[in-house]
A and B are shown apart, each in its own frame.
Chain A
Amino acid sequence: MPLIKDGRIVEDDWVAVADGEPVPADRPAIVTFERWQAERASFDGRNAALGVRVKSGTLAPAIAPDLDRFALVAIEFPKFRDGRGFSTARELRERFGYQGEIRAVGHVIPDQYRFLLRTGFTSAEAPENTNPESWAHALTEITVAFQPSLDDPQPLSLLRRRLGS
């Protein structure tokens, strides 16, 4: 599936590894959180970057103790209407100080892109055949926000800020 970063489709350096499949040692790989919990010792000494994929019901505190092991956290949206991931990302950033990549995976739509960035996501997996223009457009169509957030906006007051694009 196409990966969206900074409003455009980019190459994905990461490989998503299904449970039971071998984890490549020489390239960045994303494993499920369940696999990480079951086989964590097997990743000791790993050189290539490791990412973890969490289900929407797995909240930030559950993965917080291991965050320093992950260069990427992929948060699953089973359907785009399930908005738990927005809180998870925000907590990873604000409460646990996570600096790595946070990726939205599963079902997200361009109309959510701005919300994703504002809650701390850095990339999003788009559906096949997605229209890249819709993702790019999502970054410019609204230029005002009414809440503090993580995408470094210029405050106009506590309530209002100008969004950069």
Chain B
Amino acid sequence: MALSDKSRNEAVLKAITANRLRDGEVIFLAPGSGWVERLDDAALFEDSAAETALAAAKAQAEGEQFAVDVYTFDLRVVDGQRVPVKTRERIRALGPTVRIDLGKQAAA
């Protein structure tokens, strides 16, 4: 897995993620409302807007017992691909690097 490259010019954006309560599936806040299972379908936020969106998403998801561990993470859009800055979030968005037959990467 490629390491983050500080020289890249692409701006750092944020997405909002959580695990779905009933099955633990990694989910992302969608544009508008609701949650999606793929990072490609997630809403992206400028840094300034992320905190407000997070507070609202957290209140909604937790209030409705829909999701847990709601938080934001950093990503860049590189050549049209959404690439989380941290390895952890890349692995959450794709699946285990040692079993590429499993997780979201497998369904692609």
Direct touching of A and B (C-beta under 8 Å): no
Interface residue ranges, B against A (CB under 8 Å): none
